[in-house]
Structure 1
Amino acid sequence: MVIKNVLWQMSEKIIRLSVTVIVGALMARYLGPEGFGKYNYITAILAIMLVVTSLGFNRILVRESANCTSEIEHKEVVSTSLFLRLASSIFSIIVISLFLLYFGNDNNLFYLISLVSVVFVSFDVIDYHLQGQSIFKVATSCRVVGFIIASLLRVWFVYSEANLIYFYSTVLIEYLISGLLIFIVSQKKYKNITNISFRYFSYSKAKSLLKESWPEIIAGFGAIIFMKMDQIMLQKLQGDASVGIYSAATRISEAWYFIPAAIVAAVFPLFMKKYNEDKKEVMKQISCVMSLLVWMSIFAAIFVNIVGDYVIHLIYGVRYLESSIVLKLHIWAGIFLCMGITSGSWLVAEKKLRLNLYRNLSGLALNFVLNILLIPIYGTVGAAIATIFGLAMAFFIFDLFHKDLRAMFWIKLSAFSPLLFIRSIKYILKLK
């Protein structure tokens, strides 16, 4: 079952990766570093906005779904979380619209077109609820459809030499199609656990979710800020072209992150079901998952450092040669990101989301300081270095200095053991 779910999630990401490489290369060559930088700048802003409007529910919903014992509980969880997210999305759109109108800019209307996407991403709560029941194929299939349609439009706009604003619109189109399909399909196939109606809205459940999730909102905001801060600060300190160079590299270095995300998403519901019964055994299993992901990150980094120059030249062309240096550095950040993904799920199980907040803020602070110091001197390379050290602080070093996380620090350190890596492969293959 676990391998099947991992493969379902990976199928979407493999399709997305393959198409993104081709379409991204066409867009990068057509728009040039400056235009490509503008496009990636607005997608960075959107990523930050999505974290805020998610209300920190994502991993909590997986756990809540896994613990539901009746259909009414399922309906209360999914309906309450969806209406809360829709409300937060609409409120955010109104606030940003007023902000853009006040500051007045020719591009602001086009930015807003992309940012409206957050309303349709709200339907992701259905996906996370289904994940708690080990159901992955619904959202996977719907997202593939939305992504393929949006990608075909991007290709068409390249060949028709369309203005940049048309590329902004494809962001909204992708999320609109995906969100509506997830809602429609889930209501037809899994209505018994995803039936959404305002009569199932529970004020007590809303209060419970928000009370637990607020640290996760801030933590998620901090995490996405220091993942995207480099692009935002590059744009402010060195202009759109530097964002284009940097984004070309990070699109490749981050492309494989779907693998650890898929593995953790597949095993997390299993951990939740037996966490209270045998916590010690689950911690051993988390250690195995951690080691597997760390070594995958190491192998990915070594491979990219060998072929990085060739890949950048092949995909993006000579105008992006500077991206190869960024790529070879930024790829090492994956080691610490994988640690964060795995230990983050453990913090959800322990209901210690405040610790997730504290560690993310520590990484954010270090990343901000390093960006200020390094970008003026080293440009895009400085931004990559700042990201690596920020992630290392948040998801590795911070654990050593907090008593409640010190045990997790030793698990992360032991993850570098080759022997544990071998045992981890055997463990994953045996999971059902």
Structure 2
Amino acid sequence: MLRRIAHPDIAKAAANIVWLGLERLTQIVVAIAIAGLLARYFGPDVFGKWQYANTLLLVLAPITWVCGAEILVPTIVHRGEADLGTVLGSAFVLRISVSALALAGTWAAIAAGVFDPVVGAMLAGLAVTMLFREPFIGVVNSWLQSLTYSKPQLVTSMATAIVKLALVYLFVRMTLAAPHFAWLWALEAAAIGLVLLGYYARRHGGKLGWRVEPALLRHFASAGTVFWVGLVCMYLFLKLDRLMLERAISFADLGRYSAAQQINENWIALALMLAQTIAPAFVYRVQERGQLMRNVIRLMLLAAGVMISGALVLDALAPLVITRVFGSNYVGAIPIFRWCVWLSVPAGIEAIGNLVLLKYQAKFVLLTKWLLALAVAFAVNLLAIPRIGAFGALAGLAAGYGAAVAINVYYIRFKLCS
């Protein structure tokens, strides 16, 4: 056992997991701290507009995820160091082209007055992150993943997150207008991208050496399309509640709803982090189907237990959590928070079941799952939001998660029990 733990590959993977955990926890703490600062400074109405602008960004951002890591990382490993410049250069050109088009389209929609003026001004700065996240950060990070060495990206992300928190506090003290804050997110993405580019160049003799291979560019443009569309549907499902609520309630009420979801989504992120951490040992490396089935059942029970325990605690502490983080103006978020924390239970179970789909590269099942979840959530929202407002949106999320879990269970039984 000691010799296995001391194996360089296992030690490297363990260190990578530790850094991943530290980075995720840092991001969660910083996100909650920033949300609390902005909620108190903006007030419910402007905070609702801020959250809606972020929702729009998170719906638009998956458009830039063409040629995802599930395609790029194996290609880097397969073609080796000799072709590294060609692989990364081709991926970069594809991603920067798509990101530039997405940014131009977003700015055009803002100029055309599609959004509320304040929302549009916020989104104009936030959207610039699309130009840096996938083309710069994503490409270099895929190379680091192929080395099982994500520490440079994780350390940089932690450092810039802390600096961003300090700058948000400074902007609040300076009483700057709300749209100015959005450019801090663009600055953060640009800083991470430039640091990672510099790190890559330093590891390769002071130059990038990236080249474009037309055949590889075409392959990247077509490969992984189903996964890409599936991810777009997934993120649209996760943000559909706020997109549909914006048409039915005031921005102030949307701000209170978003405050409750802000804490809950960071809690759910822990479930995703748990799933990512245990996936290699208990799912991806297990080949015997009976053992894999037992592992998945145990992991689902573990995830359900952890999420139920956390939901009980958060439900009981809801008044304290909401008022301490967001202030007394967000008391209306307390009953919403008490209900939405229970969404972590199906979210955690879904995250474990999803690992089996990823293990077997079941891309069409993944796409079907999120299309169904999106359709179910949309139908429930359409019926429930006009009647019960924000609680109707929670019902839509719950129904969508239920559909996603059902697809996971059906596939797992089909794949592992047949």
* TM-score, L = length of structure 1: 0.83
Structure 1: distance between partners of 2:357 and 2:82:
27
Aligned to 1:313: 323
Return closer, same or farther for 1:407/1:182 CA change in 2, 3 Å cut-off.
Answer: farther
- Pairs aligned (count): 402
- Any stretches of 5+ residues in structure 1 without a counterpart? 411-432
* Deviation at residue 253 of structure 1 after TM alignment: 0.8
* Deviation at residue 98 of structure 1 after TM alignment: 2.5
Question: Given the alignment of the two structures, is residue 221 of structure 1 paired with residue 232 of structure 2, yes or no?
Answer: yes
* Deviation at residue 64 of structure 1 after TM alignment: 4.5
Aligned to 1:205: 216
RMSD: 2.9
Task: Check conservation: 2:381, 2:392, Cα contact below 8 A.
Answer: yes
Task: Check conservation: 1:150, 1:174, Cα contact below 8 A.
Answer: yes
- 1:103 is paired with a residue of what secondary structure? coil
Aligned to 2:131: 119
- 1:302 is paired with a residue of what secondary structure? helix
The 5 A counterparts of 1:66-145 are 67-68=77-78, 70-103=80-113, 106-107=117-118, 108-122=120-134, 123-145=137-159
Aligned to 2:26: 15
Aligned to 1:346: 356
Structure 2: distance between partners of 1:393 and 1:261:
18
Aligned to 1:186: 200
Task: Check conservation: 2:227, 2:363, Cα contact below 8 A.
Answer: yes
Give the percent of matched residue pairs that are identical in Structure 1 and Structure 2: 20
Question: Given the alignment of the two structures, is residue 259 of structure 1 paired with residue 270 of structure 2, yes or no?
Answer: yes
* Deviation at residue 113 of structure 1 after TM alignment: 2.0
Q: Which moved more, 1:24-33 or 1:317-326?
A: 317-326
Return closer, same or farther for 1:182/1:261 CA change in 2, 3 Å cut-off.
Answer: farther
Q: Which moved more, 1:48-57 or 1:359-368?
A: 48-57
Question: Given the alignment of the two structures, is residue 28 of structure 1 paired with residue 44 of structure 2, yes or no?
Answer: no
Return closer, same or farther for 1:48/1:55 CA change in 2, 3 Å cut-off.
Answer: same
Return closer, same or farther for 1:47/1:181 CA change in 2, 3 Å cut-off.
Answer: same
* Deviation at residue 8 of structure 1 after TM alignment: 0.9
Q: Which moved more, 1:222-231 or 1:67-76?
A: 67-76
Aligned to 1:388: 398
- Any stretches of 5+ residues in structure 2 without a counterpart? 1-10
**Aligned to 1:249, which of 251, 260, 268?**
260
* Deviation at residue 287 of structure 1 after TM alignment: 5.0
Return closer, same or farther for 1:20/1:109 CA change in 2, 3 Å cut-off.
Answer: closer
Aligned to 2:304: 294
Structure 2: distance between partners of 1:409 and 1:38:
46
The 5 A counterparts of 1:274-293 are 274=285, 285-293=295-303
Question: Given the alignment of the two structures, is residue 174 of structure 1 paired with residue 188 of structure 2, yes or no?
Answer: yes
Amino acid at match of 2:230: A
Q: Which moved more, 1:201-210 or 1:297-306?
A: 201-210
Return closer, same or farther for 1:138/1:93 CA change in 2, 3 Å cut-off.
Answer: same
CA offsets 1:127-179 (integer angstroms, 9 cap, x no match): 24422432221111111122122221211121222111111222212222222
Amino acid at match of 1:152: A
**Aligned to 2:413, which of 406, 429, 432?**
406
- 1:161 is paired with a residue of what secondary structure? coil
Aligned to 1:422: none
Amino acid at match of 2:25: I
Structure 2: distance between partners of 1:350 and 1:196:
34
Q: Which moved more, 1:263-272 or 1:117-126?
A: 263-272
Q: Which moved more, 1:8-17 or 1:53-62?
A: 53-62
Aligned to 2:379: 369
Structure 2: distance between partners of 1:99 and 1:335:
37
Structure 1: distance between partners of 2:277 and 2:244:
35
* TM-score, L = length of structure 2: 0.86
Task: Check conservation: 1:309, 1:324, Cα contact below 8 A.
Answer: yes
Task: Check conservation: 1:10, 1:258, Cα contact below 8 A.
Answer: no
Task: Check conservation: 1:12, 1:144, Cα contact below 8 A.
Answer: yes
Structure 1: distance between partners of 2:216 and 2:201:
21
Aligned to 1:323: 333
* Deviation at residue 35 of structure 1 after TM alignment: 0.8
Aligned to 2:58: 47
Amino acid at match of 1:186: Y
